[in-house]
Structure formats: C-alpha cells, structure tokens
Amino acid sequence: MEILKENLAKLIESLPINDKEKLRNNLKKLMSVYPFNEYEYIISNLFCLKKITLVDYFAIREEYLVRNEYLHIYEKYGSPTAFGITWAQSHIHAIVPEMKKPTKKENSDFDNEYDFFCDYKKNRVRIEVKASRAVDAKSDEPLFIKALALNSEKPFDMNFQQIKPKHCDVFVWVAVWRDAIKYWIFASKDIEKNKYYSRGQHRGNIGEGQLHLNRDNIKTFKKYEAHPNELLKKIIKAYKRQKSKK
C-alpha cells in the first residue's frame, strides 16, 4: 500500500499546479466508502486529466497485485476463527494431502486435541496447525490496510496462542504477509523448551501457553523454516525428534 501511495503521489505532484491543488483539496474532504475510496478517486481524476492511460492503469494494477499476492487473506478471512481454521487448515491440507482429519469414529479417545494426523510406519503423528498474520503493531487501521510486506521495517507481533505441547507431536506454523507466506515445523518439545514460549496463557489452563513471534526474534526460528514442497518431510523429521530421548 505504501508503494501505491508513493507512486500516486508522484503522479499528482507532476500535474499542473491548479489541477494538483484542486485534487489535493478534494481529497481532504473526500468521504471513502468501499470500494469508492481515495485510490479510486485519484486514479479516476488522473484519467480525466489525461495523466495516465488505460495501459498505465493496467500496469499500476498488475504491479500492485504482484506486491500484494496474499492481501485477500486479510480481507476475506477477517476473524481469527475464519483465518485459523477455514483458511490455514485448508491451505496446509492442500499442500500436504497425506494429512488426515481425526474423528471419534476411528479414534474413540479423540477430543479435538489436534488438527490432523499422518501415518509414519505404524505410528500416528499428531499435528497441530497454528497461523498468524503480519500487521503494523502500531496501527489501528482495518486489517487489510495495516497488513505488512515481508521486507517492511515496521514492527509486528504474531501471537501464536493456545499452544498445548502435550496434545500433539508436531506443530505446523503458518505466517502470512501481504506478499509472502512462511512455514515453520516444530517438534512439540522444540516449542516447550523455547525461551520465548510463555506458559500459563490463561489462569487455570495448565499445559497451555503462547509464543510471540516478532521482528526481534524471527531470525532465531530460521532452522525450523520449511518450503511448501518439504512440509511432509520436515513433519516426519520433527516427529522423530519429538520421540528421540535426546
């Protein structure tokens, strides 16, 4: 969004002084109601003033879409539940179809402690998916406005909540930026022993905690990162680490 603002500001600055001042004054009084917002207003005025052509508009639009490939995830899945369950679990399952949804029918002891399982030899690997989005921690704007790009220097704080290491073998974490998606694969004990893991998220909830992933500590999780095409391999590797006595 910042780049789009800068590019449009440069185009406004290049207008004749009367047109420039008129547009700026009108923007100060503009009432925005989606989808008729300041960007639509600026672009339509630049068309009328013959500052940009339809070809220019398509170029601006294409560049914006490339820079904001995952912005729709902020817009479409506004609530934490819709994002964490509807989107994140479906997204991971599409990448790793070998994962299956547990049910009481095939496991009478199951009580929604984890999201998926996969088979490794004769073992059941219990998998929990956690997801978060990078937003400007100092902004009160709507979610899709304060969404951050991966290379942004603005502060963010991704709070992975309701973490219960005893209830699963492996954690799959998904983090979304407006232009990137990152994945981390942890053995449960990797989380439990991590210095950033905070136990006792809610009073009385024994065995539950949270972990804040932010600009200051994100590099310390580098060794747990995984590319989409290696998620299953790293899930199995994390499971072996979980069961190891080391």
200 pLDDT more than 70: no
Average pLDDT over residues 35-47: 87
Average pLDDT over residues 121-136: 95
202 pLDDT more than 70: no
- For residue 106, which amino acid is it? E
What are the structural domains, with CATH classification, of the chain?
Answer: 2-67 (no CATH), 71-243 (3.40.1350.10)
The two tokens of residue 183 are 């994945």
Enclosing H/E stretch for 173: strand 170-177
Pick from 34-43, 91-100, 133-142, 195-204 the range whose average pLDDT is largest.
Answer: 91-100
201 pLDDT more than 70: no
For 189-226, b where at least 16 C-beta lie within 10 A, e where not — what string? ebbbebeebeeeeeeeeeebbbbebebeebeebeebeb
pTM to 2 decimal places = 0.81
pLDDT at 2: 75
- What does the pLDDT look like over 56-73, one tens digit per residue? 999 999 988 888 999 999
- What does the pLDDT look like over 146-192, one tens digit per residue? 999 999 999 999 999 899 999 999 999 999 999 999 999 999 999 99
